[in-house]
Amino acid sequence: MDLLDKLSENVVQLARLGLSGRSQDVQAYVRQSIRKLRQQNPELASQLSELLALAPTSLSPLRDFGGAIVPVDADSRLALAKSEFPVVLSGSPILDRNLKARIEQIVVEQRQLSALEREGLGPTRSLLFVGPPGVGKTMSARWLASLLGRPLITLDLATVMSSYLGKTGGNIRSVLEYAKSVESVLLLDEFDSIAKKRDDEGDVGELKRLVTVLLQEVDDWPSTSLLIAATNHGELLDPAVWRRFDDILEFRAPDADERMEVLVSLFGGDVEKLEEWLPVLVNIWEGRSFSDLTRTAQWIRRRAITSDNTVLDILLDRIGHELRGGSPDDRKRAARLLAERGYSDRKISEIVGISRDTIRKSRPSSAPNSSKMRGRNG
């Protein structure tokens, strides 16, 4: 086959892919061509690489993406999604080392599109976040948008399903097209509300069609936009969904080191007053999510500020039932700490659930004698 025949074949194939409307197939074909041309025509391969890296941005009619208009429902005129720009965070989410590294790698890829395209590769375009509530999925999506300097477009699929029943398909397509047209991070929250297993007998035909539409959108997602689907119930997802995403990130409740790190951060200026208690808190709050820890720590600090009690008094009042149900070692440690602070045997027994005789026997010789305790200690 001579050069003209090869060129004609390539033009026909590109035209066929372009007219089918599947931009991702066009990009894949161009990448394949770049690999073939790298030895024969390096200059042309380089030009195609640059074009491939920049092509998706030409879809954007508004370079000031912070001012772009989010699609609205035709009847209610209510916005179909929430757009946040700029995304401002007080700090990065606390995640395990591997998970954080994978998220940071995505940022690096988005910043080096040209380098990837020159090698015939594309960046990570779609992510599936899986994990229980409160473990940092939404926070991580916001962090990604912040690092990339892009708007975060959030579509709560459960809300769309309940509010616009009968028009769900058209509304979701509108949001997807909008998110593809600008450099953005799209978060599809409550993903399982639509992308459920297609053998669910309760599903109507509309929902099953939407699953197909969503899977095709994931396949065709442009390189310069990032799609994130988040679910609390990965077990409900259609098996085909898992295979379509470029990467799947599984979030979990924080381990002991992560709980310690987040508690030190949350208690701020009060952490020195609670330093000896932190190991106890880390143990009795095992299994709690980041959001649970945040709510509890903030409640304790607010209560201490707005009352005449110390932060430790408020903490002990809040965790009493958890401490009494904790391990023997944690209860003994708590009893020792309370004894060192001058709490009476009776008060310690009330707080930690250990008998007064046991407390008396284990009281350090340096601790104040319970018979001399007065006032708040009972």
Give the domain CATH number at 221.
3.40.50.300
- In this structure, the answer to whether residues 238 and 293 fall within a common structural domain is no
The model carries a pTM of 0.69
The mean-pLDDT minimum among 11-20, 22-31, 32-41, 200-209 falls in 200-209
- At 147-183, the pLDDT tens digits run 999 999 999 887 776 555 557 777 888 888 889 888 9
Classify residue 96: in a domain, yes or no.
yes
- In this structure, the answer to whether residues 264 and 217 fall within a common structural domain is no
**What is the structure's pLDDT at 165?**
52
Confidence class for position 204, pLDDT limits 50, 70, 90: low
Classify residue 349: in a domain, yes or no.
yes
267 pLDDT above the threshold of 70:
yes
Classify residue 43: in a domain, yes or no.
no
Confidence class for position 66, pLDDT limits 50, 70, 90: very low
Confidence class for position 206, pLDDT limits 50, 70, 90: low
Domain end call among 232, 250, 268: 250
- In this structure, the answer to whether residues 177 and 263 fall within a common structural domain is no
- In this structure, the answer to whether residues 278 and 238 fall within a common structural domain is no
The percent of residues above 90 in pLDDT, for the chain, comes to 32
More confident residue, 160 or 351: 351
- In this structure, the answer to whether residues 286 and 241 fall within a common structural domain is no
- In this structure, the answer to whether residues 102 and 169 fall within a common structural domain is yes
Confidence class for position 17, pLDDT limits 50, 70, 90: low
**What is the structure's pLDDT at 340?**
85
Mean pLDDT of all residues in 78-90: 86
Classify residue 217: in a domain, yes or no.
yes
- In this structure, the answer to whether residues 96 and 208 fall within a common structural domain is yes
Classify residue 373: in a domain, yes or no.
yes
Cβ within 8 Å of residue 375, ≥6 positions away: none
**What is the structure's pLDDT at 80?**
82
- In this structure, the answer to whether residues 102 and 216 fall within a common structural domain is yes
**What is the structure's pLDDT at 119?**
86
Domain end call among 250, 279, 300: 250
Classify residue 58: in a domain, yes or no.
no
- At 87-123, the pLDDT tens digits run 988 778 888 889 999 999 999 999 998 899 888 888 9
- At 287-322, the pLDDT tens digits run 999 889 999 999 999 999 999 899 998 998 888 888
- In this structure, the answer to whether residues 273 and 341 fall within a common structural domain is yes
Domain end call among 211, 229, 250: 250
Number of domains in the chain: 2
- In this structure, the answer to whether residues 280 and 317 fall within a common structural domain is yes
187 pLDDT above the threshold of 50:
yes
Confidence class for position 228, pLDDT limits 50, 70, 90: very high
Domain span at residue 105 reads: 65-250
